[in-house]
């Protein structure tokens, strides 16, 4: 009897991978044609004095319906998987060359560019600030954001050091802090980055965005698209 194609289920993230699952159709599996041949052969060779009971015949027809239904289910899942893949391809084409916000603690400074992003305050704070540090851990610039209400807070670093000189292009860490109820708290940041390319997911893997100078992140991590 035909088996559900678990490769299709896994590609949709609807089934867990199992090393014991044999996804290829073995020689012992019976398709619709094989099932019909066996049933006809049984009818032709039955004892005329003891014909097949109507209940037995209906039972075999029910088994045949199950075979047909499973094959149809496989086809439906395959078509659905193809549709999902096509939708991902369309999303990918629209994202390349665009800018997105993703949860990162670092950004890339380009020549004449800036590092932009936002943080989210769980509650209001009288003192919010951003420290920009280089790869050696040295503070390059501190950006005071002052008093802020709860919610998203945008920030931008223009690439200038605290002494007014322009910092070299490269990777810089972004550390956000806020004073809440008399205590300092570190905050997660969303960094704006350019999408260079997209890698389509397969076998349950998510769509990956390849960001300029920052590696790849899952598409599901994107909080904003510009």
Q: Residue ranges per domain, the chain?
A: 6-95, 99-194
Beta bridge partners of 183: 180
Plot region of 145 (φ>0 → left; ψ -120 to 50 → alpha; else → beta): alpha
In the prediction, which pLDDT does 200 show? 78
In a 13 Å sphere around the CA of 111, the CA atoms on its Cβ side amount to 0
In the prediction, which pLDDT does 62 show? 61
0.75 exceeded by the pTM?
no
In the prediction, which pLDDT does 42 show? 67
The secondary structure element, H or E, covering residue 118 is strand 115-121
Q: What is the DSSP string of 146-187?
A: EEE-SEEEEEEE-SB-TTSPBPPSEEEEEEEEEEETTEEEEE
In the prediction, which pLDDT does 156 show? 98
In the prediction, which pLDDT does 205 show? 78
Q: Could you tell me which CATH number the domain at 99-194 has?
A: 2.60.40.4070
pLDDT, block means (10 residues), the chain with 226 residues: 44 41 48 66 62 56 60 60 63 86 98 97 98 97 98 97 97 98 96 93 80 94 93
Please state, as a whole number, how many other Cβ atoms lie within 10 Å of the Cβ of residue 175. Answer: 16
**Residue 19 CA to its chain's centroid (Å):** 23
In the prediction, which pLDDT does 199 show? 87
Plot region of 215 (φ>0 → left; ψ -120 to 50 → alpha; else → beta): left
């Amino acid at each position: 009897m035909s088996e559900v194609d678990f490769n299709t289920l896994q590609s949709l993230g609807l089934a867990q991978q199992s090393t014991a699952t044999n996804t290829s159709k073995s020689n012992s599996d019976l398709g619709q044609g094989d099932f019909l041949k066996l049933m006809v052969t049984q009818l032709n060779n039955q004892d005329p004095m003891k014909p097949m009971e109507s209940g037995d015949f209906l039972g075999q027809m029910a088994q045949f319906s199950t075979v047909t239904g499973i094959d149809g289910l496989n086809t439906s899942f395959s078509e659905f998987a193809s549709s999902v893949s096509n939708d991902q391809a369309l999303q990918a084409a629209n994202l390349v060359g665009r800018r997105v916000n993703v949860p990162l603690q670092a950004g890339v400074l380009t020549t004449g560019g800036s590092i932009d992003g936002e943080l989210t305050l769980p509650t209001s704070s009288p003192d919010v600030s951003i420290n920009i540090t280089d790869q050696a851990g040295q503070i390059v610039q501190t950006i005071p954001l002052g008093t802020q209400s709860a919610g998203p807070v945008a920030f931008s670093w223009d690439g200038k050091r605290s002494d007014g000189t322009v910092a070299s292009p490269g990777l810089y860490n972004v550390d956000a802090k806020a004073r809440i109820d008399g205590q300092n708290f570190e905050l997660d940041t969303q960094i704006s980055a350019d999408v260079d390319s997209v890698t389509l997911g397969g076998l349950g893997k998510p769509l990956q965005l390849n960001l300029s100078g920052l590696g790849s992140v899952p598409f599901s991590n994107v909080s904003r698209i510009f």
